[in-house]
A = this chain, B = another copy of it.
Amino acid sequence: MAGTSTIDSAASIIRRRILDGVLGPGARLPEEQTSAELGVSRHTLRAALRQLVSEGLLRHEPNRGVHVPALTPADVSDVFRIRRMIELDAIEEIALVGNVPSGATSAVDGMEALGLSAAWHQVVEQDMRFHWALVEAAGSPRMVRTYAAIHAEIAYCLVQLRPHYDRPAQVAKEHRDLLAAIVARDGELAVVRMRAHLLEAETTLLGAIPAATHSERFPIWKE
Which residues of A are in contact with B by a Cβ distance under 8 Å? 4-5, 43, 46-47, 50-51, 54, 56, 62, 78-79, 81-82, 85-86, 89, 140-143, 145-146, 149-150, 153
CA distance A51 to B50 in the complex (A): 9
Task: Let me know if B50 and A140 touch, CB within 8 A.
Answer: no
CA distance A5 to B51 in the complex (A): 16
7 A-B residue pairings within 8 Å (CB atoms): A47-B50, A50-B50, A56-B142, A82-B143, A85-B143, A142-B150, A149-B149
**Chain copies in complex:** 2
Return the 10 tightest CB-CB contacts between A and B, nearest first.
Answer: A85-B89, A82-B142, A78-B142, A43-B43, A78-B140, A146-B146, A81-B140, A78-B141, A149-B149, A85-B85
> Which residue of chain B is the closest to A90 with respect to CB atoms?
B85
Q: Point out which of A47, A62, A89, A150 has the most chain B C-beta atoms below 10 A from its C-beta.
A: A89
A56: chain B residues at CB < 8 Å are: 142, 145
Main secondary structure of the interface of A (DSSP, over half): helix
CA distance A114 to B149 in the complex (A): 37
Task: Let me know if B145 and A149 touch, CB within 8 A.
Answer: yes
A50: chain B residues at CB < 8 Å are: 47, 50-51
Task: Let me know if A79 and B142 touch, CB within 8 A.
Answer: yes
A62: chain B residues at CB < 8 Å are: 4-5
A140-B86 contact given A5-B62, A47-B47, A62-B4, CB 8 Å threshold: no
